[in-house]
Amino acid sequence: MSDPICPLCDRPIPAEVKQSHHHLIPKLKGGKGGPTVLLHHICHREIHATLTEAELARDYAEMEALRRHPRLEKFIAWVRKRPPGFLSKVPGGRRKR
């Protein structure tokens, strides 16, 4: 069986790599029990370092919208050059909820 593909960066997610589920609508904004996507942990952290929960719920509840965000576009271009198991600290903390 092949590794799942990260819907943000389009790289495989090997079983040994830290991964996490992203709620397309944040749980705090009514998304509990809603759709989730499996992402590399680094990709998930970048999403939450870039956008607030309110922004995610209002404007970025779809993967296509996330991929079009200017900061995330730059991150995706950068991380696609890294191997699937690449880990790095995301600069800055989470955005405010």
Q: Is the pLDDT assigned to residue 95 strictly greater than 70?
A: no
Asked whether residue 37 carries a pLDDT value surpassing 80, the answer given is yes
Q: Which domain holds residue 50?
A: 21-79
Q: For residue 40, is it within any domain?
A: yes
DSSP state of 19: E
> Could you give the number of structural domains in the chain?
1
Residue 57 placed within a domain: yes
Residue 87 has pLDDT above 80, yes or no: no
CB proximity list for 35: less than 8 A, separation 6 or greater: 23, 24, 25
Express each pLDDT in 42-75 by its tens digit: 999 999 999 999 999 999 999 999 999 999 999 9
Can you give the pLDDT at residue 92? 52
Q: Write down the pLDDT at residue 26.
A: 92
Overall pTM > 0.75: yes
Structure tokens that stand for 90 in this block: 């995301």
Binned at pLDDT 50, 70 and 90, residue 84 comes out as confident
Single out the residue of 4, 21, 7 nearest to residue 64, CA to CA: 7
Q: What is the structure's pLDDT at 45?
A: 93
89 part of a folded domain: no
Q: Would you say the C-alpha torsion 24, 27, 29, 30 has a positive or negative sign? A: positive
70 occurs within a structural domain: yes
Are the C-beta atoms of 97 and 53 separated by less than 8 Å? Answer: yes
46 contacts: CB under 8 Å, gap ≥ 6: 8, 72, 75, 79, 90
Burial class from Cβ neighbours inside 10 Å (0-12, 13-18, 19+) for residue 60 reads: buried
